Amino acid sequence: MTSAPEPQPAGDRLAAEPAAEVLLRPVRLGNAFEDTVGRLLETIRLGVVAPGESLPPERELAVRLGVSRDTVREAIKSLADAGYLVSRRGRYGGTFLADELPRHTRDDRGLTREEIDDALRLREILEVGAARMAAGRTLTSAQREELWTRLADVRGAAPDDYRRLDSRLHLAIAEAAGSPSLVPLVAENRMRLNALLDRIPLLKRNIVHSDEQHQEIVIAILAGDADAAESAMRAHVAGSAALLHGFLD
């Protein structure tokens, strides 16, 4: 008489799921943390991993996503802090999906994918163009000082003030582009964007990465490097898009 097979760990079952093979694919290294969070959220929100089940081990996730184990660990910690994951120690330890997921990503009015995409695509058109145009101009000393001041403000911002000071930096970049008509368009889009960002957790690692990207953008503008300013801003808005789609889709 043959013995019954031992139960397969939840992480192993997920590893064999075709959907997991598709979702847990290599990320864009320019936004490795944000994309890793987004991919993990996709597996959670699409039901590929069920409440109480475990994720694959960190080393396996790192290989699948093409990132370092440190990046995977930071993404898992951020999602645990946000209430999505639970880490357990011991022989049967690992990272498990919480039995009840947070409800803070939704309000009384549901959002469609089209609404999120519209706000994000418009942001890319406006802000990537603004960064390139600002870098192509000869800025006054006052405009250069304004960019440095806004950059310093957002880098030193308290969590409760971060969105406001982040918006002021992006508006300063729009102003430096030299088109007065652009500024109100960016301001209106930032209001839509901030309304979306207010629905998701403020992740510490994302803020650190955003600050690094902000500095890269401002330095490129002040150096008159239009290609670098455009590339840095495009990567920056892509990181925000990855998080918003991950939490809100």
231 part of a folded domain:
yes
Q: Which domain holds residue 14?
A: 10-97
45 and 130 both lie in a single domain? no
Strands (E), the chain: 85-88, 94-97
Query: Residue written as tokens 């994951």?
Result: 85
* Two structure tokens written together for 100: 């009840």
| Domain-terminating residue out of 67, 97, 127 | 97
Per residue in 189-209, pLDDT (tens digit) is 998 999 899 889 989 999 999
> Which of the four pLDDT bands, split at 50, 70 and 90, describes residue 16?
very low
CATH number where 48 lies: 1.10.10.10
* Two structure tokens written together for 12: 């192993």
Q: What is the pTM of this model?
A: 0.79
| Contact predicate 5/211, CB 8 Å | no
Strands (E), 28-74: none
The confidence score (pLDDT) of residue 103 equals 66
- What's the number of domains the chain is made of? 2
